[in-house]
Amino acid sequence: MLVLQTVRENREDLIKALKKRNLDAEPLLNQVSELDEKRRAIQTRMDATLAQLNATSKEIGILFKSGKAKEAQELKERSAQFKEESKKLGEELNEVTSALDQALYLIPNVPHHLVPAGNSSEDNEEVMREGDIPVLMEGALPHWELAKKYDIIDFELGVKITGAGFPVYKGKGAKLQRALITYFLDRNTAAGYQEIQVPHLVNAASGFGTGQLPDKEGQMYHVTADDLYLIPTAEVPVTNILRDTILQAKDLPVCYTGYTPCFRREAGSYGSHVRGLNRLHQFDKVEIVRVEEPSNSYKALDAMVEHVKGILRELKLPYRVLRLCGGDLGFTSALTYDFEVFSTAQDKWLEISSVSNFETYQANRLKLRYRDENGKTQLAHTLNGSSLALPRVLAGILENYQTEKGIKVPEVLIPYTGFDIID
């Protein structure tokens, strides 16, 4: 969430900056300012009351020692009043502080100056594209037809077991899926990311820490009996490892990578654009997460973008990079680059990665700080990226690598699969 001091000191600048998200932030910021003033006023009264209580307690002790029990008893009655007043003020302070936090939770992150204006994905800015789009043989099939033809992914069986959006991978399809996971992890660890395994369910505090709550509550599966949430991405548990932590500057950057299944309700998703692997309720993803000093975070973001480019080059998939506009930018992100792979059989681009810098937005929620070389405690910057999400990468491989004899396996994956064609 936004740093409260920033709201106090830069209110007009924030209103202007958040317009890039097509948001009139003035009413929200007014509410925050009013609650902040109320909280500070209550805190001032509480501090004064506690000071009076402390002074009275000392005076009572002196009177008792001096044998002035009657005067001491009278002061004890006043002391009890101060205690009751401080208790009421404490309850009021907690209530207003909670309301202030809830108001701050409703304000999205401030877009970086590079974020283009725009209303939707149609207004995203293409930064670059690379790779040749293959010319397929006549009668080329989309991946859901290829999956059925070669019996490697069974969507109907997934419907039987669970419901739509929960495919079953079989035979060479399952092995190719596993190969991609291992390959992604190997590439990430070779780049200096520490591999980590995390829980697939998180508590509400973790969801609030990274910003999935309350913004995306309706998109998460909620285990109500235990008040736990199935993770929509590894970003949530991995980043929350450092919640309520003070790091040393020498320990930065912190770089993690992890594989997890991801669970998303995707409420309201339907139509031909979500066929097959295009949109699922459960899918596999390898994530990279970084915690950086603010002065280095945008260099780190560029490095993450280059890292994902390198993976796609090795897979020899045609891709492009988009800079998300204000209207398409995630709630917690200051700047996001999306990667899309071109699906030749579907004749469209498929999103396969998002790489984002959240600056201090998540760190403020997480209370994730570091102590600089001067001993001053500051909020860190957090970043994360898909490296990579498997379903659409797999769809791109199946469709772009199909031949009349079968589906070729990208050369870089053959050591992981043990076979070079699906036939």
Q: Which residues are annotated as a binding site?
A: 233, 264-266, 287, 351-354, 384
CA distance 33 to 39: 10
Give the H/E segment covering residue 281. none
Contact in structure between 151 and 171 (CB atoms under 8 Å): yes
Which of 329, 265, 307 is CA-nearest to residue 123? 329
**Is there a cis peptide before residue 237, judged by omega within 30 degrees of 0?**
no
Are the C-beta atoms of residues 405 and 421 closer than 8 Å to each other?
Answer: yes
- Contact status, residue 400 vs residue 318, Cβ threshold 8 Å: yes
Q: Residue type at 217?
A: E
Could you give the CA distance from residue 295 to residue 24 in angstroms, rounded to a whole number? 30
For the annotated binding site for L-serine, the residues are: 233, 264, 287, 384
Strand partners, 147: none
Asked whether the beta carbons of 357 and 333 are under 8 A apart, the reply is yes
Tokens 């970003």 belong to: 235
Does residue 380 contact residue 360 with C-beta atoms inside 8 Å? Answer: yes
Name the CA dihedral angle for 241, 244, 248, 252, rounded to a multiple of 10 degrees: 40
Do residues 388 and 317 lie in contact, with contact meaning Cβ atoms separated by under 8 Å? Answer: no
For 371, phi and psi rounded to 5 degrees?
A: -100, 120
- The single residue listed with the structure tokens 């579907």 is 346
Angle of helix 26-65 relative to helix 11-18, nearest 10 degrees, comes to 150
Which amino acid, one-letter code, is at 212? Q
Going by the annotation, the residues of the binding site for ATP are: 264-266, 351-354
**What's the token pair of residue 397?**
């491989």
Please compute, for residue 92, the number of CA atoms within 13 A of its CA located in the half-sphere on the CB side: 16
Give Cα separations from 104 to 108, 112, 362 (angstroms).
Answer: 8, 19, 12
Structure tokens at 58: 């000392």
Evaluate whether 126 touches 90 at the Cβ level (below 8 Å).
Answer: no
Confirm if 344 and 222 have CB atoms less than 8 A apart: no
The residue written with tokens 């044998």 in the block is: 67
